[in-house]
Amino acid sequence: RPEFVFSGRSNVGKSSLINKLCNRKNLARVSATPGKTATINFYRVDNVYFVDLPGYGYAKVSNAERQRWDDLINSYFEAERHLTILVQLLDSRHAPSADDRQMLEYLRYHRIPFVAALTKGDKLKKSQQAAALAEFESLLAEYDCRKVFLTSAENGQGVEELRSYFASCLLESEA
């Protein structure tokens, strides 16, 4: 089955956006305090899978845990045959962190097709939104990002656009 993959720093709003995209409350677990379980979760949504990669960027992780995360991610992408598109989540309010950049470089290096979802757009004033979008678009073009969506799991902004984008990816892959 086609897979839509979600990647991002812990606490970026990944679980919230996944739930919003599938109109579910608790498909992905939303946590106020970042959990530690590094596993890849597969959620069956109609005829596709949403693949929830473990969040990265915890302040305090041992080298062993970091290695485990790397191994997990590498093994997923090495085995991957069904990836339709990856959604890289980035907080709309902040410039990408060092570990975000590392992830972006990984995606570019491995030629993994991806779009970006800027999260928590509701926390930006209307006047800041266009500027943030433009800034991210020019930065992310360097990483071969295909499209940038400004989203909010809080008010649903950008969610329908992302859904239609997924649908268009499916049509393209079937053609």
Residues that bind ligand GDP (CB under 6 A): 8, 10-16, 30-32, 34, 55, 119-120, 122-123, 152-154
Q: Nearest approach, Cβ of 153 to ligand GDP (angstroms)?
A: 4
Distance of CA 129 to the CA centre of its chain: 19
Place of tokens 């990669």: 53
Minimum CB–partner distance for residue 144 and ligand GDP (Å): 23
Nearer to ligand GDP, 142 or 160 (CB): 160
Task: At 3, list the tokens.
Answer: 């897979």
Q: In angstroms, what is the minimal distance from the CB of 17 to ligand GDP?
A: 6
Q: How far is the CB of 11 from ligand GDP (least distance, A)?
A: 4
User: Given the complex with ligand GDP, which of 32 and 79 has the nearer CB atom?
Assistant: 32
In the complex with ligand GDP, the residue whose CB is nearer, 91 or 143, is 91
CA distances from 14 to 109, 126, 128, 173 (A): 23, 22, 22, 25
H helices of 47-145, in order, are 63-79, 98-109, 126-141
What separation, in Å, do the N-terminal and C-terminal C-alpha atoms of the chain show? 15
